[in-house]
Structure 1
Amino acid sequence: MSVTPPREQFLVISALGASPMELTSVLCRASQESRCNVISSRLSRHGEYSALVLQVAGSWDGLARLEGSMPALAKRHDMIINVTRSAAAEERPNALPYVVYVSAAYRPDILGELCQFFSDHRIELENMTCDTFQAPQTGAALLNATITVTLPPGTQISWLRDQFLDFADALNLDALIEPWRPQNP
């Protein structure tokens, strides 16, 4: 008689709280106590709040236990927590990861325009970081964005690069698109 291992399941937990250390500590400890593993995480500060997103893997009963503990944790630690069941990320072996860097004078429509460009070309967003700041020399509002995208198989890279650079020029963006490379410590 063959026994197959239980299929791993996933939760995505998004949380907002005032203390990044408490947010991370409480949710990682709750995951461990429920016999679940943190697969990926992202933490960022936004004004007086920090946002944490965790992907947690475990058996169905471990995830159910973790999911059930979230309302009490949120209340006890003054956090806002959302939990969503998720499947594993689908593998896309022929897709190509690229990184887009954008610097420009800040305008509220820039991110929307960038997302629309990628959507129009069937390019998926994987990760996006955007910061606005004032230039120390002039006080002008500036934007820096780093976006990781996945090009679908068969994409003509030189054509896409030309299209993107024309798009960036039309919006007066200083932009670059290049292959994603792993970061070595």
Structure 2
Amino acid sequence: MSVTPPREQSLVISAMGTSPSELASLLCRTCMECRCNVVSSRLSRHGEYSALILQVTGGWDGLARLEASLPTLAKRHQLSINALRSAAADPRPNALPYVAYVSAAYRPDILGELCQFFRDHQVELENLVCDTFEAPQTGAALLNATITVTLPPGTQISWLRDQFLDFAEALNLDALLEPWRPQNL
């Protein structure tokens, strides 16, 4: 009788605090002390706060120790920390990664409309980065968004691209949908 090994477990931690350096250092050091490995992370600043997302793997005892230490850590350093157990993502060998780039005059509805477009077309969001800023020449509020998506197998790419460009034109967005390419480091 063959026994398949259990799927690797990980812990996804989201934390917010006022000092990005302290936040990252503290959580990474705590993970190491609990014999856990940080396999992915994202840190960004939002106003006076910074947000850190970590995916951490390790043995069941290390993950349990890390989970148990987070409430005390949050209280001691005045952080907001949440953690959830997660299995590895299911492989999607036939899915295609694409990136949508959007620039426009800022309106509060744009980001929600973009997310709804992809949801309506059964396209999964993988990563979303959106920033607003003032144009140096005019002072107008502008928005730049970069959305990484995964197209399901069988998607007619030219049709989806046409739909996206029609959608963007109707909302007066400057938009582009192209295949994802690794960044040269």
- What TM-score does the superposition give when structure 2 sets the normalisation length? 0.96
For 2:37, the equivalent position in structure 1 comes to 37
Counterparts in 2 of 1:140-179, with a 5 A limit?
Answer: 140-179=140-179
Measured in 1, the distance between the counterparts of 2:84 and 2:4 equals 26
Letter in 1 for 2:147: I
Shift of 1:5: 7.3
Letter in 2 for 1:161: R
Measured in 1, the distance between the counterparts of 2:44 and 2:130 equals 11
* Residue 52 (1) aligns with residue 52 (2): yes
Tell me the percent identity: 82
Counterparts in 2 of 1:80-119, with a 5 A limit?
Answer: 80-119=80-119
SS for the counterpart of 1:164 is helix
Letter in 2 for 1:93: P
Structure 2 residues without counterparts, runs of 5 or longer: none
Shift of 1:60: 1.0
Measured in 2, the distance between the counterparts of 1:8 and 1:152 equals 25
Deviations along 1:124-178, one digit per CA (max 9) or x if unpaired, are: 0000000001111111100000000000000000011000000000000000000
Q: How many residues align?
A: 184
Structure 1 residues without counterparts, runs of 5 or longer: none
Measured in 1, the distance between the counterparts of 2:103 and 2:6 equals 47
1:7–1:59 Cα contact (<8 Å) kept: no
Shift of 1:113: 0.4
* Residue 16 (1) aligns with residue 16 (2): yes
Measured in 2, the distance between the counterparts of 1:32 and 1:19 equals 20
* Residue 135 (1) aligns with residue 135 (2): yes
- What TM-score does the superposition give when structure 1 sets the normalisation length? 0.96
For 2:27, the equivalent position in structure 1 comes to 27
SS for the counterpart of 2:24 is helix
Deviations along 1:29-59, one digit per CA (max 9) or x if unpaired, are: 1111111100100000000000000000011
Measured in 1, the distance between the counterparts of 2:116 and 2:19 equals 34
Aligned CA-pair RMSD: 1.5
Measured in 1, the distance between the counterparts of 2:7 and 2:144 equals 41
1:99–1:149 Cα contact (<8 Å) kept: yes
Letter in 1 for 2:28: C
2:11–2:83 Cα contact (<8 Å) kept: yes
- Runs of 4+ in structure 1 off by over 4 angstroms are 2-7
Letter in 1 for 2:62: G
- Residues 90 and 5 of structure 1, relative CA distance in 2, 3 Å threshold: closer
Measured in 2, the distance between the counterparts of 1:34 and 1:7 equals 20
- Residues 132 and 6 of structure 1, relative CA distance in 2, 3 Å threshold: same
